[in-house]
Chains A and B, each alone.
Chain A
Amino acid sequence: MAELRAPDECGVPDPMPFMHPALRENYGKWVFHSHPKPGVLYHRAENGTEVWTVKFGTARQLDGYTIRLICDLADKHADGHMRFTARSNVEFMLTDESKIEPLIKELNSHGFPVGGTANSVSMISHTQGFLHCDIPGTDASGVVKALMDELHEEFIKCEMPNRVKLSTSCCEINCGGQADIAIIMQHTKPPKINHDLVANVCERPTVVARCPVAAIRPALVNGKPSLEVDEKKCICCGACFPPCPPMQINDPEHSKIAIWVGGKNSNARSKPTFHKLVASGLPNNLPRWPEVAAVVKKILSVYKADAQPWERIGDWIDRIGWPRFFEKTGLPFTKYHIDDWRGARATLNASTHIRF
């Protein structure tokens, strides 16, 4: 133990030494921004300092070559500094407007899409999937790569009515988060239990407590302590799987993909909203998930054509109503769209407000 170094519990690093000097010098002193073109933001500080930000997309999972390439480009064009956004885009800050075009040209030559600003479909917020998660129903990086290939034009053109934030999640825990359009794994069968392993692997009271619908109870199976699931109660959420891996919830055939829309965290116009279920039953069709891409693109094309400027997807549906959303997108409305979880009554239409 003597050689082990005690950690320096230094906490979150101060961003100031890492920050682009123009940002550091004008910290808290910005007065104006504009969007000169897709992928480029302009900011002005009260002393007249001007900064142009060039934003580009990445795969998020970056190999050493790509990280060093981004560093080389930042050294050459952006004074050796950069920042990352919450959606894994990179931002280079420039103080010289004439550097914008050469930078964009070079970024594009290396395959980095420049965009993701203003009314674009930005990079998809996503999870770990098969690459690193212990409970994934599907992959994350692959879904994102396949979808962003399809949505590339919307990333670089910024022609949507307002921002569009997408997320993907490989299980119902939804680590990808709330979004204008969220793509989330939906299990449709109760867990398959390996009773030989439960007693050794799982802390049974913990697993029982995790179930949102109290469908799990301790049981003796083949003389061994195990757990059993009341399959009529089970909502197939997978909450039992992380604390008890022998309760396998992922099903290569029956785990499907669902699409949710209208989530928004900004307070702009309406209060923040959670996304709502609009489609499910889509196959987990690796490696390019074409059925998912088709639904996402259909929703986006209807939204783009029909929404007013500045309406997010949720704002747009608030105006046109859910019946017309389903009509215009061609997505079938089923009994599963009607909520029956706690608080569901608040989601019913308690009025005669009906659009004809």
Chain B
Amino acid sequence: MAKKLHDTPLLDQLESGPWPSFVTGLKREAAKKDIMVDLLGQLEESYKTKKGFWKGGTVGVFGYGGGVIPRFTELKGADEKPLFPDAAEFHTLRIQPPAGMHYDTATLRKFADIWDKYGSGLIGLHGQSGDIMLQGCSTANVQPAWEEINAMGFDMGGAGPALRTSMSCVGAARCEMSCYDEARALRTIINANIDDMHRPALPYKFKFKFSGCPNDCVNSIQRSDMATIGTWRDNIQVNEQQARDYMKGHGMDKLVNDVISKCPTRAITLRNKADAVSGDSVSTVAVDDQHVMQIENHDCVRCMHCLNVMPGALLPGKDKGVTILVGGKSVLKIGATMGTVIIPFMKLESDEDFEKINDLSRNIIDFFAENALEHERTGEMIDRIGLVNFLEGLDIDVDPNMINHPRANPYVRMDDWDEEVEKANERKAAA
């Protein structure tokens, strides 16, 4: 039994309504724990005053330099004593989930038990970087809680200027669009660079995210410094039975309006069977006895739209791999930046392929560590130095897939043009 609840008339208004209420959850814990009674007291004060009352500090675990988010209350009386003393320390432990956020119930129950014992009982599943957030811990309890969690086989996540906890989509575990083993790629790269997560020493944060196809379900292009997105380079695979089923269920109007006319590069045509074209780069599928749908795969940009609308009828090709984009981030400091292509395609199947992407990741982190200014993200660094300097630093050849269009201004010194043409010809000959 915990101490008496503080009055929370504003928070109480968030207990009604059809969506699950976090306030009701907090109150359940408050019935058992004084830390949660006082957390509710402080939160109500925030609702009343429209002010936040937490400040950071330095709290950690033995052996690591990051992963705990310290929170100390700033809500104090004239005597400098906390108004809500039992929640005066309310730290969070960030813990990395299994790739793809799969759990068995024994594991989740164990987390709940540990957090009952050492913390407030409140667990966020998950934070915006994908962490299991064990919220509400006193400074004294951080180390023992961590030791029990670590003994379960779970490791601390990232915070501060460090490699951050990563995310991958459901991918190969339950999706036919998956173009590579997302979980393996995530674990290969993160676990090889784990030192940079646990001992923050980078200019600023660095995030990897892994999506199995260009639908990019974990938002890697906007939310990660290096995005690994599945794709393929041969023809879209077709399944005639599924295509006919789609046609039967949806009709010609839907096929034309929802699929064909929404192709961004006009790569799809509908033809009478007799007028079908042939070619190595054309995917052809009959949708009824009279019509075939044809996709010119050289024009296709792998946007996923037609595959999404006709699941099973159209599938990614067999020659799968990934596109790597670098520089995605949110607002601070220059405004949000999208990741942009640095590797249009690489295979990601063999042990050697995974070693290659691991090396690339390490090289990018190293380049970032050496060249970024303090508190500068990779995208900002590239914005400052130019993509070409970044590519040359990493020994990556230029490729027209990296741009929307070539330069539209003459403000550049090009006196070694002939040598660059020579290099372009060498690349062409080597391809």
Give A contacts to B, CB under 8 Å: 1, 4-15, 17-20, 23-24, 27-28, 30-34, 43-44, 51, 53, 57-68, 70-72, 74-75, 80-86, 88, 93, 111-113, 125-139, 141-142, 145-146, 148-149, 152, 172-178, 206, 209-210, 212, 237, 239, 245, 250, 252, 255, 263, 265-270, 272, 274, 284, 286-288, 308-310, 341-343
Max chain A CB contacts within 10 Å: which of B99, B103, B333? B103
Whether A5 lies near B334 (C-beta < 8 A) is no
Contacts of B39 on A, CB cut-off 8 Å? 131
Whether A67 lies near B109 (C-beta < 8 A) is yes
- Which among B64, B312, B333 is the interface contact of A33 at CB below 8 angstroms? B312
Whether A71 lies near B17 (C-beta < 8 A) is no
Whether A132 lies near B173 (C-beta < 8 A) is no
Contacts of A268 on B, CB cut-off 8 Å? 214-215, 303-305, 308
- Which among A173, A177, A287 is the interface contact of B332 at CB below 8 angstroms? A173
Whether B124 lies near A61 (C-beta < 8 A) is yes
In the complex, what distance in Å separates the CA atom of A47 from the CA atom of B214?
26
Contacts of B56 on A, CB cut-off 8 Å? 134
List 10 A–B pairs whose Cβ atoms lie within 8 Å, in order of A's numbering. A10-B154, A64-B112, A64-B121, A71-B109, A86-B169, A266-B217, A267-B216, A267-B304, A268-B304, A274-B338
Whether A84 lies near B126 (C-beta < 8 A) is yes
Contacts of A65 on B, CB cut-off 8 Å? 25, 28-29
In the complex, what distance in Å separates the CA atom of A82 from the CA atom of B106?
11
Whether A12 lies near B20 (C-beta < 8 A) is no
In the complex, what distance in Å separates the CA atom of A138 from the CA atom of B43?
11
Which one of B45-53, B394-402, B409-417 is at the A interface?
B45-53
Whether B125 lies near A62 (C-beta < 8 A) is yes
Name which residue of chain B comes closest to A90, CB basis.
B125
Name which residue of chain A comes closest to B212, CB basis.
A28
In the complex, what distance in Å separates the CA atom of A111 from the CA atom of B106?
23
Whether B303 lies near A267 (C-beta < 8 A) is yes
Whether A11 lies near B191 (C-beta < 8 A) is yes
In the complex, what distance in Å separates the CA atom of A288 from the CA atom of B63?
43
Name which residue of chain B comes closest to A283, CB basis.
B50
In the complex, what distance in Å separates the CA atom of A148 from the CA atom of B102?
25
Whether A9 lies near B155 (C-beta < 8 A) is yes
Whether A212 lies near B22 (C-beta < 8 A) is no
Contacts of A145 on B, CB cut-off 8 Å? 14, 17, 19, 21-23
Whether B174 lies near A43 (C-beta < 8 A) is yes
Contacts of A31 on B, CB cut-off 8 Å? 176, 239, 312, 315
Chain B nearest Cβ from A108, distance in angstroms: 10
Whether A7 lies near B150 (C-beta < 8 A) is yes
Whether B150 lies near A132 (C-beta < 8 A) is no
In the complex, what distance in Å separates the CA atom of A271 from the CA atom of B58?
42
Whether B123 lies near A20 (C-beta < 8 A) is no
Name which residue of chain B comes closest to A72, CB basis.
B105
Supplied contacts A13-B98, A86-B218, A132-B69, 8 more A-B pairs, CB within 8 Å: A10-B154, A11-B187, A28-B172, A31-B312, A65-B28, A84-B125, A265-B221, A267-B215
Contacts of A341 on B, CB cut-off 8 Å? 335
In the complex, what distance in Å separates the CA atom of A315 from the CA atom of B156?
40
Taking the complex as formed, is B393 at the interface, i.e. its CB lies under 8 A from any CB of chain A? no
Taking the complex as formed, is B100 at the interface, i.e. its CB lies under 8 A from any CB of chain A? yes
Interface size class of B (residues with CB under 8 A): 35 or more
Contacts of A113 on B, CB cut-off 8 Å? 18-20
Whether B305 lies near A149 (C-beta < 8 A) is no
Contacts of A131 on B, CB cut-off 8 Å? 39, 43, 135
Whether A12 lies near B99 (C-beta < 8 A) is yes
In the complex, what distance in Å separates the CA atom of A183 from the CA atom of B25?
24
Whether B102 lies near A206 (C-beta < 8 A) is no
In the complex, what distance in Å separates the CA atom of A174 from the CA atom of B264?
30
Chain B nearest Cβ from A145, distance in angstroms: 5
Chain B nearest Cβ from A286, distance in angstroms: 5
Number of A-B contacts (CB under 8 A): 365
Contacts of B123 on A, CB cut-off 8 Å? 61-62, 64, 67
In the complex, what distance in Å separates the CA atom of A58 from the CA atom of B123?
12
Pick the 9 closest A-B CB pairs, nearest first.
Answer: A149-B17, A32-B312, A63-B25, A252-B50, A11-B191, A130-B46, A267-B214, A71-B105, A148-B19
Interface residues of B in 108-164 (CB under 8 A from A): 108-109, 111-112, 115-116, 121-128, 130, 135, 143, 146-147, 150-151, 153-156
Whether B20 lies near A58 (C-beta < 8 A) is yes
Taking the complex as formed, is B330 at the interface, i.e. its CB lies under 8 A from any CB of chain A? yes
Contacts of A57 on B, CB cut-off 8 Å? 19-20
Whether A14 lies near B20 (C-beta < 8 A) is no
In the complex, what distance in Å separates the CA atom of A57 from the CA atom of B52?
27
- Which among A12, A32, A174, A343 is the interface contact of B242 at CB below 8 angstroms? A32
- Which among B20, B103, B215 is the interface contact of A83 at CB below 8 angstroms? B103
Chain B nearest Cβ from A339, distance in angstroms: 10
Whether B14 lies near A269 (C-beta < 8 A) is no
Contacts of A272 on B, CB cut-off 8 Å? 216, 221-222, 338
Contacts of A10 on B, CB cut-off 8 Å? 150, 153-155
Taking the complex as formed, is B83 at the interface, i.e. its CB lies under 8 A from any CB of chain A? no
In the complex, what distance in Å separates the CA atom of A13 from the CA atom of B149?
12
In the complex, what distance in Å separates the CA atom of A19 from the CA atom of B168?
14
Contacts of A175 on B, CB cut-off 8 Å? 128, 330
Interface residues of B in 202-216 (CB under 8 A from A): 214-216
Whether B150 lies near A130 (C-beta < 8 A) is no
In the complex, what distance in Å separates the CA atom of A111 from the CA atom of B99?
28
Whether B47 lies near A4 (C-beta < 8 A) is no
Contacts of B69 on A, CB cut-off 8 Å? 132
Interface residues of B in 285-309 (CB under 8 A from A): 301-305, 308-309
Binary A-proximity of B326-345 (CB < 8 A = 1, otherwise 0): 00001111111010000000
- Which among A13, A58, A93, A288 is the interface contact of B174 at CB below 8 angstroms? A93
In the complex, what distance in Å separates the CA atom of A140 from the CA atom of B341?
33
Whether A112 lies near B14 (C-beta < 8 A) is no
* A67-B375 contact, Cβ under 8 Å, with A5-B147, A15-B183, A145-B22: no
Which one of B89-97, B275-283, B362-370, B418-426 is at the A interface?
B89-97
Whether A7 lies near B190 (C-beta < 8 A) is no
Taking the complex as formed, is B7 at the interface, i.e. its CB lies under 8 A from any CB of chain A? no
Max chain B CB contacts within 10 Å: which of A64, A177, A250, A287? A64
Whether B96 lies near A11 (C-beta < 8 A) is yes
In the complex, what distance in Å separates the CA atom of A209 from the CA atom of B102?
41
Name which residue of chain A comes closest to B106, CB basis.
A80
- Which among B63, B71, B264, B334 is the interface contact of A134 at CB below 8 angstroms? B71
Contacts of A126 on B, CB cut-off 8 Å? 128
* A30-B99 contact, Cβ under 8 Å, with A57-B20, A177-B223, A268-B308: no
Whether A12 lies near B215 (C-beta < 8 A) is no
Whether B191 lies near A209 (C-beta < 8 A) is no
Taking the complex as formed, is B101 at the interface, i.e. its CB lies under 8 A from any CB of chain A? yes
In the complex, what distance in Å separates the CA atom of A110 from the CA atom of B279?
57
Whether A9 lies near B122 (C-beta < 8 A) is no
Whether A83 lies near B100 (C-beta < 8 A) is yes
* A59-B21 contact, Cβ under 8 Å, with A84-B125, A286-B47, A287-B13: yes
- Which among B55, B151, B172 is the interface contact of A245 at CB below 8 angstroms? B55
